[in-house]
Amino acid sequence: MDLIEESQMTQLTAADLMISADKVAHVQLNNPLEHALLVLVKSGYSAVPVLDTSYKLVGTIGKTIILNQIIGLEHFEGEKLSEIYVHEVINKDIPVLKKEDTLLNGLNKVIDHPFVCVVDTEDYFAGILTRRAILKQMKRDYYQQKA
Ligand code: AMP
């Protein structure tokens, strides 16, 4: 516990280590699933944030949710990709951090999620904090405390 208290995990904020919104692949609520799948496949990510038209965070969407929509009994029903929209299948049950939350808050949230969305005080999307970024910071802390 002492180690955690002395570490940067309680000093640094989500804003310090997040990937800022302008570098994050995202989709919008009114996009058809074919666009979302294209973004996911081209970016190589399994899930990305979903924003509304004013760039407020609404949820996330991932490959599994999309593929579940087009799996038929005998074959993939690819035509559905243009008929179903992101807002119909979006996952809204996601953890969210404020920019000023500490990395320790972030650590608790990335245990079950590879990334957590970060918002500003008015809920506009600010970026994402990844599990990778938190683990790298913990590694830095660990070696600094040993030195
Ligand atoms: P990583 O820690 O780099 O493996 O990223 C974990 C997850 O965070 C990825 O699978 C994506 O869902 C998401 N992610 C990371 N970087 C980005 C980005 N630039 N744009 C959108 N999503 C991202």
Atom 5 of ligand 1, residue of closest alpha carbon: 130
**134 membership: H or E segment, kind and range:** helix 131-146
In angstroms, what is the span from residue 70 Cα to ligand 1's centroid? 24
**Better-predicted residue by pLDDT, 76 or 29:** 29
Q: Is the model's pLDDT at 83 over the cut of 60?
A: yes
Reported as a pLDDT band with limits 50, 70 and 90, residue 4 is low
In angstroms, what is the span from residue 140 Cα to ligand 1's centroid? 21
Taking alpha carbons only, the member of 136, 118, 119 closest to residue 128 is 118
pLDDT digits (tens, 9 = 90+) for 11-42: 999 999 999 999 999 999 999 999 999 999 99
pLDDT digits (tens, 9 = 90+) for 102-137: 999 999 999 999 999 999 999 999 999 999 999 999
pTM to 2 decimal places: 0.92
Reported as a pLDDT band with limits 50, 70 and 90, residue 1 is very low
